[in-house]
Structure formats: C-alpha cells, structure tokens
C-alpha cells in the first residue's frame, strides 16, 4: 500500500464512517455531526491515512486540547471528549493534547499507519508548545485474562512485557507511560470490559521535573 497521512477534510467524512464500521462492526460509528464538529473546532488535530492506490481511507486519528484541571483522572471517554463532539476543546488554557481516537483498517495493519499518527500528534504537541499527550488505552486483551487477574495486574504484566496487549503494548513502544488504570472508560466495550490505562507522553522541550510526578513506579519497566 502507498499510504499518505494528511489532515482530515470534509469530503473524508463518509469514508471515515465506513472505516468505523470495518474497525468496530459491533459498535455505533462516529457520526457525521461529530466528525464535522472536530473539523470545525480543531482541524489541525484530525488526520486520515489514505491508500493512494485506491483512495480508500485506511485510518483515522482524532484529538483535542484540554485543560486537565477540569477533569479527574478517572473520568471516562465521554467526559474527555464531550460525548465525542470536542466542544470542550480549550486551546487558550489547555496544555494537554488528548488522543480521542486512532483506528486502522484491519486490512491495512502492519503498514506503519499507527506509528505515523503518533508521530503527527507528537509534532503537533511540540509545534504548539503543549506539555504532553494523554489518552485512554483501552485494554483490548484484558477479556482473555479477566478471570485470572485484576486489570491493574494485567497492565503491570504488559508493561514488563510478560504479556502483550494489542493497544497498550504498541503505545508503550511509542514513548508513552502508564499513569493509572481506569474502570468504565468505555463502559460497553467487550474486549476491555470497560478498563483502560491512562497513558502520557511528555514534551521534554517544555517539561519541568515537577511534570513527571504522575509517573507511577508500579507501572514503570
């Protein structure tokens, strides 16, 4: 595949909705109203991956800026995204780029799309002088181990590379660290059973030693 990652355009909206149905066939897709809201509010924080061989949208990433003091670490996806509308976007006071979504077409896995999306996010955070990127990493593999261990113990094993998680393992390799484990982040997700790891990437160009205080020793390698 010849993949190009660029900022999302209005004409991409129907293709993004189709992509959602391929990635999450059992869940409602992003709605047209939500995606158009993202583009109106924060267009530079939205990207798509285009397959230049056939013009298919093979991936999508969505983000917004938040003032973290407005939230609790245990808040869920709906709180951080205002139910997916991004109307809580706060570029004036916010110092945190919040990663609301990254999805990749199952038929396009292994072509570096996810890595390119994270690169774009880091570049945006650096260009805007933001302190960090945070996101909720849904624990996609936890349903296989839920009858054997608590979600916190599962995350510890993933961090130590004793287990692999399809989402969190990849994000750790992109320079993120786990802050804590959160329940009911995506309440009806059958793979994570609602559990997520709150993760963080720090922009070292603007960070102070105090900004690293959220690192939980239990979740460090």
Q: Which fold would CATH assign to domain 1-130?
A: Aminopeptidase (3.40.630)
What average pLDDT does the chain have? 95
pLDDT tens across 87-115, in order? 999 999 999 999 999 999 999 999 999 99
Whole-number Å distance between alpha carbons of 202 and 61: 19
Whole-number Å distance between alpha carbons of 49 and 127: 21
Q: Confidence class of residue 27 from pLDDT cuts 50, 70 and 90? A: confident
Q: Check whether 37 has a pLDDT greater than 80.
A: yes
Helix (H, G, I), strand (E, B) or coil at 136: strand
For range 43-66, the mean pLDDT = 96
The residue that leads in pLDDT, 212 or 149, is 149
Q: Where are the domains of the chain?
A: 1-130, 138-221
Q: Check whether 214 has a pLDDT greater than 80.
A: no
Return the percentage of the chain with pLDDT > 70, whole number: 100
Q: Confidence class of residue 122 from pLDDT cuts 50, 70 and 90? A: very high
Q: Check whether 39 has a pLDDT greater than 90.
A: yes
Task: Output the pLDDT for position 191.
Answer: 92
Task: Output the pLDDT for position 215.
Answer: 79
Pairing between β-strand 46-51 and β-strand 177-182 as defined by DSSP bridges: unpaired
Which value, to the nearest 10 degrees, does the dihedral of the CA atoms of residues 108, 111, 112, 116 take?
-60
pLDDT tens across 155-205, in order? 999 999 999 999 999 999 999 999 999 999 998 888 999 999 999 999 999
């Amino acid at each position: 595949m010849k993949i190009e990652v660029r900022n999302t355009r209005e004409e991409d909206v129907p293709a993004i909705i189709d992509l959602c149905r391929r990635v999450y066939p059992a869940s409602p897709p992003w709605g047209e109203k939500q995606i158009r809201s993202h583009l109106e509010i924060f267009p530079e924080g939205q990207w798509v991956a285009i397959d230049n061989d056939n013009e298919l949208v093979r991936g999508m990433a969505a983000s917004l800026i938040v003032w973290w003091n407005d939230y609790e670490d245990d808040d869920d996806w709906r709180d951080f995204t205002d139910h997916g509308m991004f109307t809580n976007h706060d570029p004036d006071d916010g110092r945190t780029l919040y990663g609301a979504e990254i999805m990749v077409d199952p038929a396009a896995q292994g072509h570096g799309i996810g890595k390119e999306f994270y690169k774009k996010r880091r570049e945006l955070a650096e260009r805007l002088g933001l302190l960090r990127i945070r996101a909720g990493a849904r624990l996609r593999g936890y349903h296989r181990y839920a009858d054997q261990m608590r979600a916190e113990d599962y995350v510890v094993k993933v961090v130590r590379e004793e287990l692999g998680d399809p989402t969190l393992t990849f994000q750790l390799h992109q320079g993120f660290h786990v802050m804590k484990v959160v329940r009911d982040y995506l309440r009806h997700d059958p793979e994570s059973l609602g559990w997520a790891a709150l993760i963080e990437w720090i922009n070292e160009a603007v960070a102070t030693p105090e900004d690293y205080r959220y690192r939980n020793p239990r979740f460090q390698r």
